[in-house]
Amino acid sequence: MVNCQFLFLTLFSTTNAKFFLNFGKFGFMQPEKKQLEILLMHYFRECYPGFPKGRLVPSESPDFILTLKSRNNLGIELTRLNPLNARLPDEMELLKNRTREKIIESARTLFEGTSSLKLFVKFLFSENKLIPEERELSVSVQLTNIIRKIVANKNPNSFFRESVTSEALPDGLEDLLIVRYPELQVSFWERSNNLGVSEDVVADIRQAIYKKDEKLRHYQKQRLNYYWLLINTDRLRGVKSYNLPNKILNHNFQSRFQHVFLFDMIKSDVFQLV
């Protein structure tokens, strides 16, 4: 596992500057899904120090192609970890989720009322604290002010990411992730783990690898030299209380991809599974 905090200086290296320019050329004309993939790919590259140097461009099947200095080509496919084994939410959870969605939408409306910046923002709410209705607006205002303060100190024409922990957030939130990619034309403000929380994360990871392995033959039609799979998750968590990262790293995952990574976006942690 590696942490991203000390790696931001790499953004200003010559290689990463070229990388960003390559992405910038393509991002303006890309549809929303590809813009988001470019943002996530850039974020992952910053957080994984073993990422090879080279020219990385958006593609289809796989999602990106990296041309290495050796002139070999590396294909990278992205997918989101789908909690196939998520339990159905009860009435209390549905109520909490509706409240959280209202808070996020209000914060986004307030922010975009005075700013044209398009941001990727993930909100990780506490599972143990319900924000009462009378606090919804005040929490939205506090979140808006936090985000405004952060982006005010950033160059709007460059890529940046910022994480805010619970100490600096309103009561009821655990983490806040803000990512800015200059060519992003739409906003993505979302509740973390909005697809649900799994009861068997390991099984979900195995299924994600299996589904992409089935498609690998199609990707191989491009006759690239290597293939990586990147599985993104908002925040690596399950309904059980055991140490989930350790449990995952203690499993033996198999794939026809040369490498498979699990990327916890909230914590900026990268786990190499294969």
Q: What string of DSSP letters covers 3-26? A: ESGGGGGGGGSHHHHHHHHHHHHH
pTM of the model: 0.86
* Number of domains observed in the structure of the chain: 2
Residue 237: per-residue pLDDT: 82
> What letter would DSSP give residue 134?
G
111-128 pLDDT tens trace? 999 999 999 999 999 988
Tell whether 70 and 156 lie within a shared domain: no
Asked if the structure places residue 244 within a domain, the reply is no
Residue 186: per-residue pLDDT: 93
25-78 pLDDT tens trace? 443 446 899 999 999 999 999 999 999 999 999 999 999 999 999 999 999 999
Asked if the structure places residue 41 within a domain, the reply is yes
Asked if the structure places residue 114 within a domain, the reply is yes
Token pair in block for residue 169: 């957030």
Asked if the structure places residue 98 within a domain, the reply is yes
Structural domain for 132, as ranges: 91-191
In whole angstroms, give the CA distance from residue 24 to residue 101.
Answer: 31
φ and ψ at residue 68, rounded to 5 degrees: -80, 165
Tell whether 114 and 138 lie within a shared domain: yes
Tell whether 119 and 160 lie within a shared domain: yes
Task: State the Cα angle at 269 between 267 and 271, rounded to 5°.
Answer: 145
Task: State the Cα angle at 15 between 12 and 19, rounded to 5°.
Answer: 90
Tell whether 81 and 152 lie within a shared domain: no
Asked if the structure places residue 201 within a domain, the reply is no
Ranges of the chain whose pLDDT falls below 50: 4-29
Beta strands across the sheet bearing 188-191? 160-165, 173-180, 120-125, 188-191
Q: Which residues contact 39 (CB under 8 A, 6 or more apart)?
A: 120, 159, 179, 181, 184
Asked if the structure places residue 208 within a domain, the reply is no
Instruction: Tell how many helices (H) and how many strands (E) occur in the chain.
Output: 6, 11
Asked if the structure places residue 4 within a domain, the reply is no
Tell whether 128 and 162 lie within a shared domain: yes
Helix axes 14-27, 32-47, angle to 10 degrees: 170
Token pair in block for residue 20: 């960003």
Residue 241: per-residue pLDDT: 55
Tell whether 77 and 39 lie within a shared domain: yes
Asked if the structure places residue 24 within a domain, the reply is no
Tell whether 186 and 95 lie within a shared domain: yes
Tell whether 75 and 165 lie within a shared domain: no
Tell whether 78 and 105 lie within a shared domain: no
